[in-house]
Structure 1
């Protein structure tokens, strides 16, 4: 065995890029890489399922703002990670994924029947990655890793894939010079074209009823201050998509919060004579399930060219959200609006307040006191600065609309919508936040899941214990796939295959060494508060049935405030 091999080159390059924590699971073809980890200062977080390792790397990236790094083995290990990579791609989360590959002698047209052999492994990940590379010799490793890092962190961000054959990982790298510290990378940021910003600024200056939809691209670009400045200059109400939650102050007089699934907000956006959509695809949830039909001009800003005008005719601006919003704000400052906002006699602030009142009145009429009280209790029991990770469960669907992220952050799996995201992503976030000595109470992370989705990631209780990660896992147990039950009952009058046998979650968690308890809905706030005063993983189970608010996108009666 060489004293310095290809695996060392991978580890050295990651270290030079500033990586401190990596995620994954060892495998036969990747042993050279994992052996190299033992000669490094990298902290390895070992998951139990590759898909959950991908979610953990995703959560790390979202919580820290640094790319998540995922180490995989060939074939089954690589393929098992794909749903996690799909979520990262759909949500624009930067990740560098390094997979092993069978020896070079087995690659090509021949199929030699090697263990884990997957013909053209790169093609298998093409739909869930931003780029793919196969390393053919040891000296190419540093450049390949750096190029993947640039791809992952360039807008639109996502997972970048590298695969290194087993013989290169194990082979000598003594002939390759050591990787220098501070390895240079240059992420690409799309800059807006000036003439497009000029045209967009003209539309906003002339608008009497401007409005803004802010998506996850605003948060990823760190454009919160630029969005606030533009909204105030334009006098425009702002609604945040679920992925953009926190991009605009929740209690601001122009904030429509995140009620994109309510017809009152949809109608306001449709009535806008200029609608600015920034950092969002205007996809299924954000468009209130494709019912949104803007009647005015649309300005669409996004770093991903494929989403521009995908759903609505618009002035499309391919750009980073921060640069575009700053450019628009500068133009409006230099040449102020020509007209004052006027929504049929209402100011923008009055219309915003009236619309939120209408949303509240509709919820009041639906007998949802239990659901609203439950969500209020979870919010009250969670510190303001905490990062929260939500699985695809009814509580998360409520959270998309009603959760005030405050000084923390809200993360959910609504990009691709796969189950099992919340807990492993929270583990990755906790691993990242633990690196910050000043994180304090905000280093503990909340994960929220249902009993159905929790079974996808239940094995990660072992990961939580092994690494003593500060995660509170709230499992809302309603006896099955609750949202699918509700969908089927509404559509067909009965639900099929939605009811589930499940374990005693408390006893199961305790068997792993996790402190766990079951509480009544009325005790959720106190249980959460208590958990945030502790160290290590905690599980809270509450058995309750939550219902969704009515499908208000189907109600098209006028809901705007009237005098």
Structure 2
């Protein structure tokens, strides 16, 4: 019997296992085959998708739900480059994906001299502007330390994707480097904490204690830090209304009396936040969408808690607190003086009613009914993943994730996120008793059709709702509004239900009237399913019209 000789690929798999990885997403390629072979023989599970970008989206969702680094394994050149859009979304959403790519043999590094297949002059250069950190390996002995450093970088606040490159000859060559011990336990793979400085917490507490109309804007950093309980406690101590950004949905209970919801593209909400004498912004960079396209201008003081130093006070002057959201909110909760309940709940309720009244006056009953049907059909604890489609734009503002999680590609805004991300989420919890929902338009769905085979192969409990409006619906609206006519937005597309059935995935064509029942039935069935809704949805007017405000 031949005894297998350990090589660099084995050392990669052993290092990932030592760091705590349980699942690897990816797609094989010639230069990376030894790693895939090692993963096959490891305790880790491998989930293979049909395209590298989709594998990246699946890893992204897995990382978001597990709040831990998730490996993405791809090959050199085209395979690596195909993952860039997914890594950009992970960077925008602070998802800790550990991208691991093979490289051409060391003799070919630098490009052009050897003419290796997939060779690039500087492959890593394509990733440096996207990921948090990039790591190169040149010998087997470097593999455990490089992966541990990448792992810690991905997880450290602000979390995000990282990139590791290992030449083919290093992966194939025999090695006597011992398998690493538990890297995460001995500290090499553990991130550094990011607590708030005490003097900044004291200054923030003083501002909040002396305020008369405090308010909070909570972003995705609260969700990533698992700081929902700390935010709820602080808001109740301060009697402060709370709005959540689109990426921060789930940071604060939508049905709480202090909730302002997520209507951030509405000027009523923008004005409410601007009118706070002290606005606490936590876990958000106050970027384009969170500031209602930069129309937000505070008339009071702003306290900005943000783990990403580059985003701290980047858009608005504030008392900047560079810290992890959970640690900062815990410290701030201990420092402020609880106040009696005042009129904050009444003011929050009045704002929400004004927003709803304005939306109701726009004749958009179909859109609201469709979203309500989705909410009614989806179990409270089920996560949902939304592509860049009109229904998702509605969901950013109006969908209540309840005890589940809502994620979309609104960080980087690329198409094709919803379905492969939902597959990654389904893998994240094999014991899940509730299904996962993906929502796409017909244009975005065309990016992900190949993953119907993945869903079928692994029997993943994902229901894919495809809203078919015959094209890129949101771009159709944008172009028509801006230029009077749309171009490039009308699409030929397949019979999605028949195509799904050809993959062995049950599908149904529904209507707005039957959507709730059909979607409920699909979600309750085991394994993957597809629900196709032909419907032409419209967007709400995002800000107030002249004379709309008193």
Structure 2 length-normalised TM = 0.97
Question: Which one is further off, 270-279 or 57-66?
Answer: 57-66
Q: Pick from 26, 31, 39 the counterpart of residue 37 of structure 1.
A: 39
Q: Secondary structure at the match of 2:98?
A: strand
Q: Pick from 213, 221, 227 the counterpart of residue 223 of structure 1.
A: 227
1:308-333: per-residue Cα shift (whole Å, max 9, x none)?
A: 11111111111000111111111114
TM alignment of 1:109-508, pairs within 5 A: 111-173=113-175, 175-181=176-182, 183=184, 184=186, 185-333=189-337, 336=338, 347-434=343-430, 437=431, 439-441=432-434, 444-508=435-499
Paired residues, what number?
545
Q: Distance in 2 between matches of 1:239 and 1:189?
A: 27
Match status 1:528 vs 2:519: yes
Cα deviation for residue 66 of structure 1 reads 2.4
1:417-468: per-residue Cα shift (whole Å, max 9, x none)?
A: 000000000001111121xx3x322xx2000000000001111111111111
Cα deviation for residue 403 of structure 1 reads 0.6
Counterparts in 2 of 1:109 and 1:48: CA distance versus 1, 3 Å: closer
TM alignment of 1:54-133, pairs within 5 A: 54-108=56-110, 111-133=113-135
Counterparts in 2 of 1:556 and 1:422: CA distance versus 1, 3 Å: farther
Q: CA RMSD in A?
A: 1.5
Query: Do 1:29 and 1:100's aligned partners in 2 also have CA atoms closer than 8 Å?
Result: yes
Cα deviation for residue 412 of structure 1 reads 0.6
Counterparts in 2 of 1:555 and 1:383: CA distance versus 1, 3 Å: farther
Cα deviation for residue 275 of structure 1 reads 0.7
1:163-219: per-residue Cα shift (whole Å, max 9, x none)?
A: 11000100001x111222464322123211111111111110111111110000000
Q: Distance in 1 between matches of 2:411 and 2:298?
A: 23
Query: Do 2:40 and 2:46's aligned partners in 1 also have CA atoms closer than 8 Å?
Result: no
Q: Distance in 2 between matches of 1:415 and 1:136?
A: 34
1:384-437: per-residue Cα shift (whole Å, max 9, x none)?
A: 000000000001000000111111010011000000000000001111121xx3
1:4-42: per-residue Cα shift (whole Å, max 9, x none)?
A: 110000101111122111111000110111121222122
Q: Distance in 2 between matches of 1:109 and 1:486?
A: 45
Query: Do 2:150 and 2:162's aligned partners in 1 also have CA atoms closer than 8 Å?
Result: yes
TM alignment of 1:22-33, pairs within 5 A: 22-33=24-35
Q: Distance in 2 between matches of 1:36 and 1:498?
A: 45
Q: Secondary structure at the match of 1:522?
A: coil
1:60-107: per-residue Cα shift (whole Å, max 9, x none)?
A: 112222222100100110001000000000000011111000000111
Q: Distance in 2 between matches of 1:544 and 1:558?
A: 32
Query: Do 1:111 and 1:119's aligned partners in 2 also have CA atoms closer than 8 Å?
Result: no
Unaligned runs of 5+ in 1: none
**Counterpart in 2 of 1:51?**
53
Q: Distance in 1 between matches of 2:355 and 2:467?
A: 25
**Counterpart in 1 of 2:7?**
5
Q: Distance in 2 between matches of 1:150 and 1:58?
A: 16
Q: Secondary structure at the match of 2:260?
A: coil
Counterparts in 2 of 1:495 and 1:141: CA distance versus 1, 3 Å: same
1:316-356: per-residue Cα shift (whole Å, max 9, x none)?
A: 111000111111111114xx55xx787xxxx1111101001
Cα deviation for residue 507 of structure 1 reads 1.0
Query: Do 1:213 and 1:278's aligned partners in 2 also have CA atoms closer than 8 Å?
Result: yes
Q: Distance in 1 between matches of 2:268 and 2:22?
A: 46
Q: Distance in 2 between matches of 1:527 and 1:137?
A: 55
Structure 1 length-normalised TM = 0.95
Unaligned runs of 5+ in 2: none
Query: Quick one: higher RCO (CA 8 Å, sep 6+), 1 or 2?
Result: 1
Q: Distance in 2 between matches of 1:263 and 1:556?
A: 12
Q: Distance in 2 between matches of 1:62 and 1:236?
A: 28
Query: Do 1:2 and 1:172's aligned partners in 2 also have CA atoms closer than 8 Å?
Result: no
Query: Do 2:150 and 2:163's aligned partners in 1 also have CA atoms closer than 8 Å?
Result: yes
Q: Distance in 1 between matches of 2:472 and 2:441?
A: 8
Query: Do 1:87 and 1:417's aligned partners in 2 also have CA atoms closer than 8 Å?
Result: yes
1:358-392: per-residue Cα shift (whole Å, max 9, x none)?
A: 01110111001111011000000000000000000
Q: Distance in 2 between matches of 1:122 and 1:408?
A: 37
